[in-house]
Amino acid sequence: MPLQLRAIAFAAAIAAGACGSGVRPDNARALDDIQNGRSGDEVIVEGVVTHVGHTSRGESGVHEHFDMRISSGAAEQDILVADNITVGVQAPVKRGDDVVVKGVLEVDPSGPVIHWTHHDPANRHTAGFVMLGGRMYE
């Protein structure tokens, strides 16, 4: 399926699924936050996985890393997703997968990053997720 048709089909599927689940991606708002250097906002974005990185171990646990490209109108942006799989469930993402991600946006000098894509066992933070194929990984 051509990329443009795939994007339209994905947007329709997200719109249909999002209405029932309460998930409403807002790429335009996330792109505005990135352009204006605003960190700390919770975002819900949808896009395509462009690269799957290796897992890494840090102070807060093991993280899976993948890049996704989001767009709104003519604007596009690649965003790194750092998903803590010590706390949450690893999403089996592959390059080319359509995903929806909810988490906290940080505008880092090396580029934008979304983290807190999982539940918070201490209940201090709103739960995030990675949605792949209609399944939520939190």
User: How do residues 43-88 score in pLDDT, each as one tens digit?
Assistant: 999 999 999 999 989 888 899 999 999 999 999 999 999 999 999 8
Is residue 114 within 8 Å of 45, Cβ to Cβ?
yes
- Give the per-residue pLDDT at 122: 84
pLDDT digits (tens, 9 = 90+) for 8-41: 444 444 444 444 457 899 999 999 999 999 999 9
Could you tell me if 25 and 14 are in contact, meaning their C-beta atoms sit under 8 angstroms apart?
yes
Domains held by the chain: number = 1
pTM above 0.85, yes or no: no
Residue 124 lies in a domain: yes
What are the tokens at 32? 């505005």
Is 43 among the domain residues?
yes
Residue 12, domain member (yes or no): no
